């Protein structure tokens, strides 16, 4: 009887080890890297993007082009950074570093998606209102209803990205309601965030931004070593993110204690989880 109990214990331990091996964290040395430029957007909400007199690229968007297809060139961005930093589009004050690269890696297994961000967070920002956190790293995933119900063929989610959640009447925009957060008119963004103070958020953006209440089971860990910050997110394959699907996503980095809109953001990209995408997650 004792021998049988011992054997079952050994077998259980072996199965547990096998299970943990299957769902172990990725070997990031074997996962391809893709540099994504993030930039300070100033006061350019979705209304600005979709207004032809403000943004000539609106014409291309209506023809099915994406922001990435127009603005990304040889790993960089062809923006007029002087215009973005000027008083017209940044009345409060632009950061000294208008854009910088974020290295993105992604992998997945039967249950989880893993996203790793590596970057050097710049100093010299104009806003320092987040006294608790020097750095915040955020990733947003759009479901397939963002923009679609407005008859725009998902122009906001798939082509533009997280601009769909940023409106001219949201807080920190000129003359806007200080209590109004980012929101979407259709669909939802799933949000995950890590802060340098060690807080992890599993939230969403629908009719308002909520930093809690998400169902993705988000976990995050991060550290800064030699000036390079590395943040690793783990979330379930559910909701907007599923195997065999390409999901629109965006990255936002708050550095130098910045808050609100004073972040650096990416254009809208697609993450392929067992599918084609601007970035393809590696299967574990």
Q: What is the pLDDT of residues 223-272, one digit of tens each?
A: 999 999 999 999 999 999 999 999 999 999 999 999 999 999 999 999 99
CATH number of the domain that residue 129 is part of: 2.60.40
Phi, psi angle pair for 156, to nearest 5°: -75, -40
Phi, psi angle pair for 81, to nearest 5°: -65, -30
Q: Distance between CA atoms of 191 and 194, rounded to whole angstroms?
A: 10
Whether residue 130 lies inside any domain: the answer is yes
Whether residue 271 lies inside any domain: the answer is yes
Nearest to residue 252, comparing CAs of 176, 162, 170?
Answer: 162
Q: Which residues contact 127 (CB under 8 A, 6 or more apart)?
A: 92, 93, 257, 258, 259, 260, 262
Phi, psi angle pair for 163, to nearest 5°: -60, -25
* Alpha-carbon dihedral 200, 205, 209, 213, rounded to 10 degrees: -50
- pLDDT at site 2: 44
- More confidently predicted of 62 and 239: 239
Whether residue 27 lies inside any domain: the answer is no
CA distance from start to end of the chain: 40
Whether residue 17 lies inside any domain: the answer is no
Predicted confidence (pLDDT) at residue 9 exceeds the cutoff of 90: no
- pLDDT at site 7: 45
**What range defines the domain where residue 67 resides?**
34-283
Whether residue 4 lies inside any domain: the answer is no
Q: How many domains does the chain have?
A: 1
Q: Which two tokens stand for residue 247?
A: 């999901």
The pTM of this model reads 0.90
- More confidently predicted of 154 and 169: 169
Q: What is the pLDDT of residues 11-33, one digit of tens each?
A: 444 444 443 444 578 999 999 99
- pLDDT at site 70: 93
Q: Distance between CA atoms of 57 and 69, rounded to whole angstroms?
A: 11
Q: Distance between CA atoms of 15 and 11, rounded to whole angstroms?
A: 6
82 to 97, 98, 154, 227: CA distances (angstroms): 12, 9, 30, 27
Q: Distance between CA atoms of 31 and 104, rounded to whole angstroms?
A: 10
Q: Which two tokens stand for residue 173?
A: 């925009």
Whether residue 1 lies inside any domain: the answer is no
Whether residue 7 lies inside any domain: the answer is no
Instruction: Give the number of C-alpha atoms closer than 13 A to the C-alpha of residue 268, restricted to the C-beta side.
Output: 27
Whether residue 19 lies inside any domain: the answer is no
């Amino acid at each position: 009887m004792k021998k049988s109990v011992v054997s079952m214990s050994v077998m259980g331990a072996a199965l547990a080890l096998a299970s943990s091996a299957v769902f172990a964290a990725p070997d990031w040395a074997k996962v391809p890297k893709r540099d994504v430029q993030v930039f300070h957007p100033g006061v350019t909400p979705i209304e600005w993007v979709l207004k032809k007199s403000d943004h000539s690229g609106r014409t291309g968007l209506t023809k099915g082009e994406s922001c990435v297809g127009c603005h990304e060139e040889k790993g960089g961005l062809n923006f007029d950074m002087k215009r973005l930093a000027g008083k017209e589009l940044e009345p409060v004050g632009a950061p000294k570093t208008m854009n910088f690269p974020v290295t993105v890696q992604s992998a997945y297994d039967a249950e989880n998606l893993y996203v790793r961000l590596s970057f050097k967070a710049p100093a010299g920002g104009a806003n320092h209102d987040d006294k608790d956190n020097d750095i915040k790293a955020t990733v947003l995933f759009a479901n397939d209803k963002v923009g679609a119900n407005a008859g725009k063929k998902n122009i906001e989610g798939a082509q533009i990205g997280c601009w769909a959640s940023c409106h001219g009447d949201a807080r920190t925009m000129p003359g806007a309601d200080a209590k109004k957060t980012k929101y979407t008119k259709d669909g939802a963004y799933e949000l995950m965030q890590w802060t340098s103070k060690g807080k992890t958020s599993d939230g969403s953006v629908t009719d308002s931004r909520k930093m809690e209440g998400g169902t993705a089971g988000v976990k995050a860990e991060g550290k800064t070593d030699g000036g390079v910050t590395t943040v690793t997110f783990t979330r379930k394959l559910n909701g907007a993110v599923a195997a065999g699907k390409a999901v629109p996503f965006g990255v936002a980095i708050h550095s130098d204690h910045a808050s609100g809109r004073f972040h650096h953001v990416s254009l809208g990209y697609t993450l392929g989880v067992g599918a084609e995408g601007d970035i393809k997650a590696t299967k574990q």
